[in-house]
Structure 1
């Protein structure tokens, strides 16, 4: 669905590249996370993929179209939800969606249906300029689905949303993916990436450092630990043991044998911890 080979980009065209020899592929039907701190090059790559920036160096194919040969038809297959909402403030929510829907050459989703899906029912006739930041974000998210995209670009889709609405947005993403939609998720939120993505790419200073599934990354870079709460002398104690070190395995067996266990669960590294370990950089 997406093929990127040796992509480089310089804003000043002075030989200093903000994106450097980036290559990756996104398979049809997967959720691919593009993860990195602010200024890492995420938005630059995304803008080239979606046609907002002109390709300078490399080869890029999107939904079977070569971006060197732009075709309006490719936009019929693409949806894009921006982190910064760019809606028309003097139009109502419904007018925003209806206007945008007319830009496509394919059948579109009913605007009221989309507004209900993102929790904006009853706000159809309210001007978007009167919306809160979170409501504007939901309207932008709804707009990105209006053409039933095969390839869906999501830039920080849960930013500024309360936990309940964010959970609804994540459920919509999962449902669309179950329907076969390919998703390119740009974020610095490792928790949403871990929850949603089939594979992730770590990008820092314009270079991809690693691409793999969250599960494989945890197995490769995470420590194998077990945290146990148990009762000893009428007091609750908590200990963490390695499941690899022989002495820890023996100690764990002794605790299980000699004490009443309250809780026991494995501990795995988070994607954020792995990102820092692999790149030497934080996410801010």
Structure 2
């Protein structure tokens, strides 16, 4: 669905590249996470894929269309939800969606259905300039679904949302993906990426450092540990054991064999911890 080969982009038209020799593929029906700190090149790459930035160097195809010569029919195939909402403030929520529907040459979804899906029912006749940041974000998210896209570009889809609404947004993404929608997710939020993505790419300073599934990354880079709480001399003690180091494994066997175990939990590294370990960079 998406193919990127040797992509470069410079905002100053010199060798100071915001994106440098980036290559990856996104399969049909996949949720692909593009992860990195601010300024890493995430938005630059997404803007090239969606035609908002001109391709300078490299080969890029989206939904079978060559980005070098953009065919307007491509925009019928893709949906875009931006981190910064770009709504018409003097229009109501429903008017914004109704206007956007007219831009497509394919069957579109009902505006009120989308408003209900993102929890804005009762707000459809309010001008969006009166919306909170979170409400604007939800409407922008709803708008990105209006043309039933085959490829869905999501830039920080849960930013600025309270946990309950963010959970609903993640559920919507899962449901659309089950229908076969391919998702390209750009974020610095490793938790949403871990929950939703089939594969993730780590990008830092415009270069991809690693691409793999969250599970494979945890197995390859995460410390294999187990937390054990047990009773000794009438007291509850807690220890962490490595399941790789032989000395720790033998101590764990002795503890299990000679003490009453209260709790035992395996620990796996978070995607954020692995990102820092692999790239040497934080997410700020």
Bin of the TM-score, shorter chain as denominator length: over 0.9
In structure 1, the residue matched to 2:114 is 114
Q: Distance in 1 between matches of 2:123 and 2:259?
A: 58
Quote the offset at 1:241 in angstroms. Answer: 0.4
Unaligned runs of 5+ in 2: none
Equivalent residues in 2 for 1:173-252 (5 A)? Answer: 173-252=173-252
In structure 2, the residue matched to 1:263 is 263
Q: Does 1:149 find its partner at 2:160?
A: no
Q: Distance in 1 between matches of 2:232 and 2:93?
A: 61
Q: Does 1:134 find its partner at 2:134?
A: yes
Quote the offset at 1:143 in angstroms. Answer: 0.3
Equivalent residues in 2 for 1:33-44 (5 A)? Answer: 33-44=33-44
Residue deviations 1:69-123 (CA, integer Å, cap 9, x gap):
1111110010000000001111000000000011000111101100110010111
Count of residue pairs the alignment pairs up: 284
* The 10-residue stretch of structure 1 (224-233 or 152-161) with the greater mean CA deviation from structure 2: 224-233
In structure 2, the residue matched to 1:69 is 69
Quote the offset at 1:15 in angstroms. Answer: 2.2
Q: Distance in 1 between matches of 2:14 and 2:149?
A: 36
Quote the offset at 1:231 in angstroms. Answer: 2.1
In structure 1, the residue matched to 2:25 is 25
In structure 2, the residue matched to 1:52 is 52
SS in 2 for 1:68: helix
In structure 1, the residue matched to 2:280 is 280
Q: Distance in 2 between matches of 1:152 and 1:262?
A: 46
Quote the offset at 1:232 in angstroms. Answer: 2.1
Quote the offset at 1:260 in angstroms. Answer: 2.0
Q: TM-score, normalised by structure 2?
A: 0.99
Equivalent residues in 2 for 1:5-20 (5 A)? Answer: 5-20=5-20
Q: TM-score, normalised by structure 1?
A: 0.99
Residue deviations 1:218-259 (CA, integer Å, cap 9, x gap):
000011111111222332221110111121111111221222
* The 10-residue stretch of structure 1 (33-42 or 250-259) with the greater mean CA deviation from structure 2: 250-259
In structure 2, the residue matched to 1:85 is 85
Structure 1 residue runs of 4 or more that deviate by more than 3 Å after TM superposition:
none
